[in-house]
Amino acid sequence: VMAVKDSFLEGEKLFVEFGRVLDDFLSERCGRVPLAKPRWKEIWTSEPSSVAAVELQLARLVEQALWAMGTNSAYEAPTISAQSQDSGLASAMDADSVPFEDWMLLGPLPAAARQRAGGDTAK
């Protein structure tokens, strides 16, 4: 089992780092194809002789895992229905609303009050 820090998975860091190792990481024109999970171990058949070789094998393995995730409905992002999206917008708007106070309901301020408040008197 391999674990990575959350910060590595945030943003584009994962793609940048593996792209540094494999120039065509996740590219359509890379020549590599998604393998069945039992064949992923073939990536590790040769023992790496350097850190660079380990990085290359790891990048290829992660690439296979990402391809598998992209075709597996278990990893599909949930969709938001129009109704729940509308209700979510309404509740967000309600959260930002400010109840009207009496002074807000009185109407426009007289010119003298606007001048004291620093407002425009040419209305």
* 2 pLDDT tier (thresholds 50, 70, 90): confident
The pLDDT tens digits for 66-80 are: 999 888 888 787 776
**Predicted TM-score (pTM) above 0.85:** no
Query: What integer pLDDT is reported at residue 61 of this predicted model?
Result: 94
Q: Kindly give, in sequence order, each residue whose CB lies less than 8 Å from that of residue 121, ignoring residues fewer than 6 positions away.
A: 111, 114, 115
More confident residue, 75 or 98: 75
Distance CA 15, CA 21 (A): 10
The pLDDT tens digits for 16-30 are: 999 999 999 988 888
Core vs surface per residue 23-41: b (16+ CB within 10 A) or e: eebbeeeeeeeebeeeeee
| Mean per-residue pLDDT of the chain | 79
Query: What integer pLDDT is reported at residue 31 of this predicted model?
Result: 86
The pLDDT tens digits for 40-50 are: 999 999 999 99
The pLDDT tens digits for 48-64 are: 999 999 999 999 999 99
